[in-house]
Amino acid sequence: MRHGKYRFLAGALIVPLTLYGVFVLSPYLQAFQLAFTNWNGVDSAPEFTGFDNFSKLWDDPLFLAGLRNNGLMLLVVPLAVIVLALALAAGTRGTRVYRVVYFFPQLLSVAIIAVLWQFVYTPNSGLLNGALAALGLDSWRQSWLAEPNLALWCVMAVMIWSSVGFYVVLFSAAMESVPDDIMEAAAIDGAGPMTVFRRITIPLIWESVQVGWIYLGIAALDGFALVQIMTVGPGGPDNSTEVMGLGLYRTAFTFGKFGYASAMGVAIFFLTLSIAVLLLRVTKRERVELA
Amino acid sequence: MRIKHAFLTLWAVLVTLPLLWALMSSFKTDAEIFDSPWTPPASPQFDNWSRAWEHASIGQYLFNTLIVVGGSLALTMLLGALTAYCLARYEFPGNRFLYYTLIAGMLFPVFLALVPLFFVVDNLGMLGTYHGLILVYAAYALPFTVFFLHGFFRSLPGAVAEAAFLDGASHAGVFFRVMLPMARPGMVSVGIFNFLGLWNQYLLPRVLNPDPDHYVISQGLAALAVSQGARSDWSGLFAGLVIAILPVLLAYVFFQRQIRAGLTSGALK
């Protein structure tokens, strides 16, 4: 029965491993190499420039704007999504129909969401200004994506809008596995609903919340599609919605500075990795075992 | 209680209102859209939809998406299952090394690979081709698929496979006829997860697929939103947007329980 094992393994693995090696592994490794060159895609031999690209990053106002904006997204979006999703998940205990609806944005591709919200924010014919006018709040009407102080917040609102539903479903699935008798016991002991939620529900579903923090933290360092499609420029008025990914894209495919763009990629990689590790550390808690 | 329900309803309205508004706007004339965002159309303009489908190439973009996402999904599932199975059920030198090398792909942001990837695909002459996109999509979906299914194949009982081997089945026969059918629940979950992930792609086609005839829907719609804004066929664009939203939303209405379960189990892995 064992004969032909290695022939089978070789036949089965050759295609996927080649695919992975050519399109995933080799580009990742090449990126680290290119990051130390000034390659512009035309010269056959890239020139080694040491850490020049990385020191240039610190003086590049566009990259710093991207870093700042991604940083703000990182502070705002995960927290807002998790708080909203926890509240909505707790609120919809027993009423499933809400969750079906909340999940809708998860099914739209991010480009479609960007186009939709660009329409919503359109000054003259958009839904948002129309809604404000209908509520008699004419003075609140804005050209949302054209205001340097507002544009990034508008982008973050879309990020939150599109992510909450998924985490409602994730958290409520976890909440359903918390046995009712624990809740009842706590209620009998005189704990109010808020105490039960804070002291019992949250610790018992913490593993899902932790996953949420990490995923949302990584996503906050992206934002490319939304910014590139929704905001003018792209990158917004006064670079107010510039994100690191957009800077990389532009540096590479508009300006042809492939070495420098790769250095941005390396910076984004180390930032993403550090954020993931940091969030993993910060959100670490004693695991509560349900007997 | 009342506050709670007001809050729940408010979020439901926030989620659905933009979608319903886009649907309504897709039946209005341009003049009506500019006149007032709220008023329903005087008479529904079905012409917007056919214009979007034909002239704005939404039909073509959906067709391209079907080929690229369908092709890469099939390829990912086949190769992912095969790889996961081999790594999970066979002992051989280098097994662990291969497994960790593969799942390391999940750690890296695609931005890091972007520049070299462009040149790899360019050197292979695959820029702007269906098969180029399919291969790249599949390669990037592979790590998660292997990771997810590896655990799944591990947990399957070995007795059935042993019996099949004793009956003279080949290694490939055991995989396709015995183990793969047993892994069906896992395949469904990861399949749904991958479908939405591939459908969601924007960065990869944006860089690797510069040929407008081969645009996938996300890319095509974004390009239209920029160019159409200038030519101001807003009603056609709304119709295109709704056409792009509908297929997956309809699938969700029918399979919503499986889809939500598939996605969340994928995340918790």
Q: Which residues in B lie closer than 8 A to residue A125 (C-beta atoms)?
A: 33-34, 37, 234
Cα–Cα distances in angstroms (integers) from residue A24 to residues A273, B124, B130, in the given order: 17, 15, 18
- The domain ranges of chain B are 1-43, 45-268
Name chain B contacts of A25, Cβ cutoff 8 Å: 101, 105
Identify the bridge partners of residue A37 per DSSP, sorted by sequence position.
A48
Here the ipTM equals: 0.90
Chain B residue with the nearest C-alpha to that of A275: B107
pLDDT digits (tens, 9 = 90+) for A18-69: 999 999 999 999 999 999 998 887 766 778 888 889 999 999 999 999 999 9
Residue partners of B234: CB distance under 8 A and separation at least 6:
A125, B25, B30, B33, B34, B228
Q: What is the mean pLDDT of residues A174-181?
A: 84
Chain centroid to CA B18: how far? 22
- Helices A151-176, B2-25: axis angle to 10 degrees equals 120
| pLDDT exceeds cutoff 60 at A291 | no
**Contact assignment for A265 to B114 by CB distance below 8 Å:** yes
Tell which of B112, B257, B265 to mutate to test the A interface (max A CBs under 10 Å).
B112
pLDDT at B143: 95
Q: Is A175 helix (H, G, I), strand (E, B) or coil?
A: helix
Distance from CA of B54 to the nearest CA of A (A): 19
Task: Please name the amino acid found at residue A213.
Answer: W
Res A2 pLDDT > 60: no
Spatial contact of A266 and A57, defined as CB atoms under 8 Å apart: no
Domains identified in chain A and CATH numbers: 35-282 (1.10.3720.10)
* CATH class of the domain comprising B45-268: mainly alpha
Which residue did the predictor score with more confidence, A138 or A120?
A120
Closest C-alpha to A205, from A114, A148, A283: A283
Average pLDDT over residues A189-195: 83
| Contact (CB<8Å) B82/A16 | yes
Strands (E), chain B: none
Number of inter-chain CB pairs under 8 A, A vs B: 250
pLDDT digits (tens, 9 = 90+) for A43-55: 667 788 888 899 9
Angle at which helix B234-268 crosses helix B2-25, to 10 degrees, equals: 130
Least Cα distance to B46 among B248, B227, B246, B242 occurs for B242
Compute the distance between CA of residue A284 and CA of residue A288 in angstroms, rounded to an integer: 12
H-helix segments, B179-233: 180-182, 184-199, 203-208, 217-231
Note down pLDDT in tens along chain B; length 269 residues.
678 888 899 999 999 999 999 999 999 988 888 888 888 888 888 888 988 888 888 999 999 999 999 999 999 999 999 999 999 999 999 999 999 999 999 889 999 999 999 999 999 999 999 999 999 999 999 999 999 999 889 988 888 888 999 988 899 999 999 999 998 888 988 998 899 899 999 999 999 999 999 999 999 999 888 876 656 678 888 999 999 999 888 888 888 777 777 777 766 66
Q: What does residue A93 show for φ and ψ, rounded to 5 degrees? A: -55, 120
pLDDT score for A97? 83
Does A102 contact B11 at a Cβ distance shorter than 8 Å? yes
**B178 chain-A contacts, CB cut-off 8 A:** none
Task: Please count the other Cβ atoms lying within 10 Å of the Cβ belonging to residue A38.
Answer: 16
Q: Cβ of A92 and B8 within 8 Å?
A: yes
Chain B interface, mutation test: which of A86, A96, A107, most B Cβ atoms within 10 Å? A107
SS3 A262: helix
- Cα–Cα distance, B54 to B165 (Å, whole number): 55
Which residue in this structure is represented by tokens 């704990």? Answer: A191
- Which pLDDT score is estimated for A68? 95
- Spell out which residues of chain B touch residue A28, defining contact as CB-CB under 8 Å: 105, 108, 112-113, 116
pLDDT value for A244: 95
Residues written for chain B: 269
B130-155 helix and B110-123 helix, angle to the nearest 10 degrees: 130
**Under an 8 A CB cutoff, do B142 and A115 touch?**
no
Instruction: Please determine, for residue A98, whether its predicted confidence score (pLDDT) is greater than 70.
Output: yes
Best residue of B9, B95, B111 to probe chain A, by most A CBs closer than 10 Å: B111
State residue A85's pLDDT score.
95
Closest approach of chain A CAs to the CA of B148, in angstroms?
Answer: 16
Cβ contact (<8 Å) for A103 and B225?
no
Mean pLDDT of chain A: 89
Residue type, A35: A
Residue-level pLDDT at B85: 95
Query: Which residues in chain A have Cβ-Cβ distances shorter than 8 Å to B237?
Result: 115
CB A213 within 8 Å of CB A283: yes
Determine, for residues A27 and B14 on separate chains, whether the beta-carbon distance falls below 8 Å.
no
pLDDT of residue A1 exceeding 50, the answer is no
What span, in angstroms and rounded, lies between the C-alpha atoms of A81 and A87? 10
What confidence tens digit (pLDDT) does each residue in A224-266 have? 999 999 988 788 888 899 999 999 999 999 999 999 999 999 9
Whole-angstrom Cα distance, residue A29 to residue A20?
12
Q: Which residues of A touch B119 (CB under 8 A)?
A: 41, 258
Residue A141: pLDDT over 80: yes
Residues of B within 8 A of A99 (CB-CB) are 260
CA B243 – CA B77 distance, rounded (Å): 27
